């Protein structure tokens, strides 16, 4: 495998764009005085991989990259209501098929450690690599999820005339993303400009009533 097949291109955002996410500074060597704690902003990057392999790749990254380099690796998911034998149950599915997110403040070291692993490059698409999330992308995901549970909840809304108005959940104010809805499946089909491209995905949306 050629080295450039395994390479991952990084584009670093300005650090002041990530005021809400911080990573602990490296441990101080023994025998030296511990300075005051300094926290460095973490940045979020997206890894493109083969759809359906997101969790396998995430586990691979977690097993290969040192803990002090990788702050978090996760596959964004969403909740949706599905009906089984007449009963509605909450299920989860991958929010962005073919993508996962890594969080780090040492992006060069992360890239270096991943380059040494040919198996990692195998799961990347031909034009794949690391893409930084924009500030509003980070804010949207982080507002409706938390570390250890990166799952976006179900939205609720109403239909008023020919408009969909979202009253609750992650789609509030994001009605422009909605391309169509399936009321029976309680699902909204979205088209989102994210990760530097247009992505089509789904999210849970229950229409509680229809206004005339």
Domain count, the chain: 2
**For residue 23, what is the enclosing H or E element?**
strand 22-23
Tally the C-alpha atoms within 13 A of residue 198's C-alpha that lie toward its C-beta.
4
Instruction: Output the pTM of the full model.
Output: 0.74
8 confidence band (pLDDT: 50, 70, 90): very low
Q: Tell me the C-alpha distance between 212 and 159, whole Å.
A: 8
Q: Is residue 104 part of a domain?
A: yes
Residue 63, domain extent: 3-78+93-152
Q: Which residue has the tokens 């609720």?
A: 156
At 50, is the pLDDT very low, low, confident or very high (cuts 50, 70, 90)?
Answer: confident
Residue 206 lies in a domain: yes
DSSP conformational letter for 184? T
* Residue 176 sits in the same domain as residue 129: no
The beta strands (E) that lie in 24-75 are given as 40-41, 43-48, 72-74
**Which of 30-34, 49-53, 203-207 is predicted least confidently?**
30-34
182 lies in the same domain as 199: yes
- Give tens-digit pLDDT for 164-204: 999 999 999 999 999 999 999 999 999 999 888 899 999 99
pLDDT digits (tens, 9 = 90+) for 24-47: 444 444 444 444 434 557 889 888
Token readout for 147 is 């570390």
Q: What is the mean pLDDT of residues 78-91?
A: 90
Say how far apart CA 170 and CA 145 lie, in whole Å: 10
Same domain, 124 and 21: yes
């Amino acid at each position: 495998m050629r080295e450039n097949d395994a390479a991952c291109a990084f584009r670093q955002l300005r650090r002041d764009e990530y005021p809400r996410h911080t990573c602990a500074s490296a441990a101080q060597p023994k025998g030296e005085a511990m300075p005051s704690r300094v926290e460095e902003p973490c940045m979020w990057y997206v890894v493109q991989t083969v759809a359906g392999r997101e969790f396998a790749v995430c586990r691979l990254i977690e097993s290969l990259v040192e803990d002090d380099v990788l702050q978090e690796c996760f596959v964004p998911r969403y909740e949706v209501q599905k009906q089984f034998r007449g009963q509605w149950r909450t299920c989860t599915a991958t929010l962005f098929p073919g993508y996962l997110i890594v969080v780090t403040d040492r992006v060069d070291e992360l890239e270096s450690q991943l380059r040494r692993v040919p198996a990692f490059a195998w799961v990347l698409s031909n034009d794949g690599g690391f893409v930084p999330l924009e500030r509003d992308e980070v804010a949207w995901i982080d507002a409706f999820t938390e570390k250890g549970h990166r799952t976006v909840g179900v939205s609720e809304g109403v239909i008023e005339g020919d408009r969909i108005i979202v009253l609750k959940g992650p789609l509030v104010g994001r009605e422009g993303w909605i391309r169509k809805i399936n009321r029976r499946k309680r699902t909204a089909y979205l088209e989102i400009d994210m990760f530097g491209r247009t992505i089509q995905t789904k999210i849970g949306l229950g229409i509680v009533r229809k206004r005339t």
